[in-house]
Structure 1
Amino acid sequence: MNGKRSRLIIVAAAGTLTLATAISAAAATLPAGSVAGAADAHMLTQTVHVDTLSPAQRLVSFDTTRYGLAQRQTSYESAAANAAVAKAAAQKAAAQKAAAAKAAAAKAAAAKAAAAKAAAQQAAQEQAAQQQATQQAAQQTTAQPATSAPSGSPQQIAEQMLSQFGWSSSQFSCLQPLWALESGWNIYASNPSSGAYGIPQALPGSKMASAGPDWQGDAATQIRWGLSYIQGTYGSPCAAWSHEEADGWY
């Protein structure tokens, strides 16, 4: 019996030494300065100094402590792995967000550049069209011969103006007797009974002011108004002469 007790004491002592060695090794694997490492080391130190336990209880305590250390080590490694995964995910999300912002900025810059290019092209087209219109107008002005003011007798002036109203010179054969009958081609001819005045016998004479302010004494102004009246009322001098011959007035 004494021999068995001696062997148990020896085993317990060996277990205690082994426990102390295991505690040192386990503490070395924990992160330096970590709260968990400090707490575990403190707990294990307290366990080692529990002298009130029997050798068998100390062996049980050693196994329990070693199992707890293994669990805590596994928990720490799992937490570290989870933290690493979370950090990698955060970095990936940040990279994706930065890439999306960069793509959006590039797209906006491209759209702005395209709009500016389109506006420049439209402005260039409008400027080119305006220049072309100006050149065409200048060419037309250059191509058209300068129209000289009609001169000569009232009959000569009237014959020169016929083409301005789209009539041929043959219309003068009707215009000449028409106004010869109305006024004798006299720019100052006045009808005392009706108030008609001038070569075309405008009624009243002030109507001819629409052709020029000098209507009272300028043959060209009176003739221009008279031809405009004939065109608007009868269509041609010959048609007006036909009405004159039929009704005695035009």
Structure 2
Amino acid sequence: MRLKEKVAIITGGASGIGLAACERFLEEGAKVVLADFNEMEANNQIEKIREKGNEIDFIQVDVSDEDSVCRLVKETKKKYGKIDVLINNAGITDDATLVKMNIDQFHRVLDVNVKGVFLCTQAVAPTMIEQGKGKIINTSSVSGVYGNFGQTNYAASKAAVIGMTKTWAKELGRKGINVNAVAPGFTLTAMVKKMPEEIIEKMKGNVALQTLGKPRDIANAYLFLASEEANYVHGHVLHVDGGIMM
């Protein structure tokens, strides 16, 4: 097992890519802390996971709130005594074109997608520094690399994640901590599945592989970067997008 006895915090773990990551990490022997704001959805998923015989913890967290994040890290360390992996997967969208986007929409997305990643990493870093090792994996997006119509706030937030990833790689690499990012492309989450079929087909047409990614595809990228196989991968942004921009 590639993550046997490793302790991993996965934010936004109650649905979509985060949930797939929780399941994938459990398959590889990790002790997983599912961190999410949506308590009802998280408890539903925890129950299903435990029915399969897997042990998993749930800690409710608002990643944009410092006290909430500190409690997440404190409770995880109290139970397990260490934190090996942090997956900063939590993120939201609130789309509108530039002239229609209000300032609340802009701040709401940056609070979760940028401030949340900062707070979680800042809270976990001292433990990893003390350990002399750790893996931090941040979730960016192809929108943060290429931009996307109607997503000023989201694209800005995901570009910021790349900048923070490369900065932390410079700061934390000398402490034995790997910091990388994953940039997913169009991924077939529950939200995407609700879109009209013609929109989904148009999205597929923009991908070189002519298909959308699955949450497990992104989870596999997280797994690689969290594993010992990626010990010399550092400060990298791994595109998992089917060749959306070539």
- State the TM bucket, normalised to the shorter chain: under 0.3
Q: TM-score, normalised by structure 2?
A: 0.18
Which structure has more RCO (C-alpha within 8 Å, separation ≥ 6)?
2
| Structure holding more helix per residue | 1
Q: TM-score, normalised by structure 1?
A: 0.18
Larger radius of gyration: 1
| Structure holding more strand per residue | 2
